[in-house]
Amino acid sequence: MDVKLSDIKVLFTEEQIQNRIKEIAHEMNEFYTGEEVCAICVLKGAVMFAVDLVKELDMPLQMEFIRLSSYGSSTTTSGKVNAVDIKLPDLNGKNVLIIEDIVDTGLTAKFLLDFIGCNFKTKSTKFASLLDKKIFRQTDIEPDFMGFHVDDKFLIGYGLDYDGYYRNLKFIGYADKSLLE
Ligand code: IMP
Ligand code: MG
């Protein structure tokens, strides 16, 4: 791995992330009062966010996991979403809450919202993303629940990887562009 841990600068600390997640969860608890929710975690990137978020939710909740990929080992999207594993139960009549790490171009979000829209008549479908990177957006997707706006940096940590590494960091950081291929 050519990017060392010491090369990664902190953008959001563990404390900032956890505080913001509690705020988002509070919004969701108010929004879904009395309703059941089926949360769909988009692996691998959203794993940390999803796990920490659902622990703060107080409604009857089911959790599903799907795996999509668009980046491969590069730091820019290939533009094509690959549904590595998209097996889902019957979502008809359910409140579906998609949980993502980051919306960048929005192609992944659009793919998933179209997939759910084509296959199920849900009671509601909402999209939550910890991070919102608007600068390269190619769709009109806006997350319904969102943690932080970010600029054009390639982010690493707390689920977000650089070439498969550093998902385990408790913080979200970035490395200088010159270090990234
Ligand atoms: P989109 O399809 O371009 O919106 O990208 C969505 C996916 O690309 C996210 O779910 C992430 O897994 C990945 N991604 C986008 N930006 C970053 C980043 O800055 N660091 C790591 N992964 C990213
Ligand atoms: Mg992702």
Q: What is the pLDDT of residues 131-167, one digit of tens each?
A: 999 999 999 999 999 999 999 999 999 999 999 999 9
**Dist. CA 118–CA 95, nearest whole Å:** 16
**DSSP helix/strand/coil, 62:** strand
Decide: 45 in ligand 1 pocket, CB within 6 A.
yes
pLDDT at residue 162, as a whole number: 93
Sign of CA dihedral 164, 170, 172, 175: negative
8 A C-beta contact, residue 110 and residue 117: no
Region 64-68: mean pLDDT is: 97
In percent, the amount of the chain with pLDDT more than 90 equals 86
Ligand 1 centroid to 10 CA: how many Å? 18
8 A C-beta contact, residue 1 and residue 180: no
Q: In the structure, what pLDDT confidence band is assigned to residue 26 with cuts at 50, 70 and 90?
A: very high
Ligand 1 centroid to 154 CA: how many Å? 9
Higher pLDDT, 75 or 65: 65
Main-chain dihedrals φ then ψ at residue 121, nearest 5 degrees: -105, 90
Decide: 100 in ligand 1 pocket, CB within 6 A.
yes
Q: Which atom of ligand 1 is nearest to the CA of 153?
A: 19
Average pLDDT, rounded, for the chain = 94
8 A C-beta contact, residue 42 and residue 98: yes
Helix H or strand E encompassing 31 = helix 14-31
Q: Given a cut of 80, is residue 54 above it in pLDDT?
A: yes
